[in-house]
Structure 1
Amino acid sequence: MENDVTVVGGGVVGLATATRLAERGLRVRIWSRDPLPSTTSAVAGALWWPYRIEPAAEAGAWALTSLRVYGELAVGPGRSGVRFVSGVHADAVLGGLGPWAKEVEGLRQLAPEEVPGPYRTGIAARLPLIDMPVHLAFLRGRFEAMGGSFEQREVRDFGEAAALAPVVVDCTGLAARELVPDPGLRPVRGQLVLVENPGIEEWFTAADESAGETTYFFPHTDRLVLGGTAQEGDERLTPDPATAAAIVARCARVRPEIAGARILGHLVGLRPARTGGVRIEAVPLPGGGRLVHHYGHGGAGVTVAWGCAEAAADLVLG
């Protein structure tokens, strides 16, 4: 066979997994249904933070592994798209976070008067903020430089991939709902608004994991990303004008200058949430091959990508 492993799915989870496998000396091919700019990962904000991710115990360890990787990549932010940026998580208290928080340097509980906008509690942090279009292109380039191949190809059955490699890794996100099939997968719709940055340098979030609406803005060099929504079961990919207006209004309550910022565009992505959380599991394929499932990362795919990639790579080699 031409390759040792075929990774199906070309988002951040697929790219991270393929990279870890290539680093271990395997010949790896990625098959991606979508070009990089059209993947769900390309729509992500994307701030490192364990958000809407289960199982909690494993997710904390996966997130910390990824945090270390982003720390290494932030050395060259222009190439990797990774920068460490200061900001505030509103409506959050240190005591309400998981054990992982003790390993994150610099988290600080704010006094009520330090929290911006109509909020009274919050945590200050300096965290990785990732420009996803830049980052995905960087990861693909690094993977290909290691001898990996990236091909845009839709897979309708894992047998197609198994015919060309003894191990297949399923990083298909929400598409695994039909491919596996896994009825536990469900979409969580996220809508964003892109505006010209009016000079904002710090990020802000107020994200209740049980709410359908969130408030956040993330500053990138050429734009400010405003959000957002977390609409369970909603599969609409067309931006909703009323939702966009509400996002801008919520963000402007924190930073009034956002209200007058010129709108550059709108994005919608479907987070791949799963009952029971992330699935990383090896199963046999007909004919003797092995299929490693690696999906269900919800709203934290960027946050846990590298920790989960190492766990999936262990199953490939195990």
Structure 2
Amino acid sequence: MNDNVIVVGGGVIGLTTAIVLAEQGRSVRVWTREPAGRTTSAVAGGLWWPYRIEPEAQVGDWSLRSLRIYEELAARSGETGVRMVEGVQAGTQLDELGDWAAQVPGLRAARAGEAGAYAGEGLWARLPLIDMPTYLGWLGERLLAAGGSVEERALGQLSEAVDEASVVVNCSGLGARELVADPAVRPVRGQLVVVENPGITTWFTAADPASHATTYFLPQPYGLLLGGTADEDDWSLEPDPAVAEEIVKRCAQIRPEIAGARVLEHRVGLRPARDAVRLDREILPGGGVLVHNYGHGGAGVTVAWGCAEEAARLVGGAAA
């Protein structure tokens, strides 16, 4: 057995974890069923915010660590795809959030008119908004520069990786249902619509945890991204035209100019949800190390760097 690391999963969690390990000097290979551009991460909205993810105590730390890194990456937005953009989290108040909120620079109550036609309470913030296709490409290049590699390889069982490496990090997302027989990880389907941007420069989100329908628009370089849905245990990757129409309608109630915007693309992604993120370590019978890092739901981008650093700590003293 070689003293190397295999990271299973090539989405934002897997790539970020692989980078942290490779930059610590380890020999890292990423095994992924499909290239990063076809993972769920590629269709994510890309806004930093701890959304639909537990456990809350750790999520705050993971999110803030990631926030600091994204703030640095935003200085090279053309290269990384990370920008700091202002917008409104509607229906949210500071006293509803965890302790982490006090460490988000500039987070405050929104003023009248800052959220278009939305007249309710909300928070104004300047947060990382990430162009995911660009960012995933940049992550791949950073991994290669650190000496890591990416291999397209579909696993039937996790033991295939365990047989080849002294350390395996399981970042397989929804794939963990089969790879480690974990029925607790399940899909939460998200449908989005990309339209030509009619001149909107700020983002808006209104997410009701009790509802399957969410309302948000995110100005990306390729267009205005409209959402969305949160359909639990729905495996369909086919866009529903009626749902798309409702998404546009909800967003246009906030910014009327969206109603006439030309539709460019429809997207569907399956968030790998779990009651709580699984981030732990096993010592295998043969002495190898298996670290799990999956179940991030709709906040994989938000916690990616914090979870990657924690996963690297769990790898710990395994041979490098």
Other-structure match for 1:97: 97
Q: Which contiguous aligned blocks of 4+ residues in structure 1 show a shift greater than 6 angstroms?
A: none
Q: CA deviation at 1:285?
A: 2.9
d(CA) in 2 for partners of 1:30 and 1:19? 10
Q: CA deviation at 1:34?
A: 1.0
Q: CA deviation at 1:2?
A: 5.2
Is 1:248 matched up with 2:252?
no
Other-structure match for 2:110: 110
Q: CA deviation at 1:114?
A: 4.1
d(CA) in 1 for partners of 2:109 and 2:71? 23
Q: AA paired with 1:287? A: G
Other-structure match for 1:291: 290
d(CA) in 1 for partners of 2:209 and 2:134? 28
Q: Alignment partner of 2:140: what SS?
A: helix
User: Bigger shift: 244-253 or 104-113?
Assistant: 104-113
Other-structure match for 2:280: 281
d(CA) in 1 for partners of 2:255 and 2:50? 25
d(CA) in 2 for partners of 1:136 and 1:177? 24
Other-structure match for 1:168: 168
Other-structure match for 1:225: 225
d(CA) in 2 for partners of 1:237 and 1:21? 32
Percent identical residues: 61
**Deviations, residues 5-46 of structure 1 (Å, cap 9, x unaligned):** 000000000011001101111000000111111101001001
d(CA) in 2 for partners of 1:2 and 1:116? 57
d(CA) in 1 for partners of 2:309 and 2:210? 29
Alignment of 1:148-159 (within 5 A): 148-159=148-159
Q: Alignment partner of 1:250: what SS?
A: helix
d(CA) in 1 for partners of 2:313 and 2:115? 43
The change in CA–CA distance for 1:119 and 1:236 in structure 2 (over 3 A counts) is farther
d(CA) in 1 for partners of 2:305 and 2:269? 21
Q: Which runs of 5+ in 1 are unaligned?
A: none
**Deviations, residues 240-277 of structure 1 (Å, cap 9, x unaligned):** 000000000000001111111111111111111112x1
d(CA) in 2 for partners of 1:119 and 1:14? 40
The count of aligned residue pairs is 317
TM-score (norm 1): 0.97
Other-structure match for 1:134: 134
Q: CA deviation at 1:119?
A: 3.4
**Deviations, residues 39-63 of structure 1 (Å, cap 9, x unaligned):** 0100100100000010001000000
Q: CA deviation at 1:150?
A: 0.5
Q: AA paired with 1:224? A: L
Say whether the 8 Å CA contact 1:113–1:120 is kept in structure 2. no
Q: CA deviation at 1:113?
A: 4.9
Alignment of 1:302-317 (within 5 A): 302-317=301-316
Q: AA paired with 1:294? A: N
CA RMSD of aligned residues (A): 1.2
Other-structure match for 1:80: 80
User: Bigger shift: 151-160 or 244-253?
Assistant: 151-160
Other-structure match for 1:203: 203
Q: CA deviation at 1:183?
A: 1.2
Q: CA deviation at 1:162?
A: 1.6
Other-structure match for 2:48: 48
**Deviations, residues 202-258 of structure 1 (Å, cap 9, x unaligned):** 000001122100000000122111000011111111000000000000000011111
Q: Which runs of 5+ in 2 are unaligned?
A: none
Q: Alignment partner of 2:272: what SS?
A: strand
Say whether the 8 Å CA contact 2:3–2:167 is kept in structure 1. no
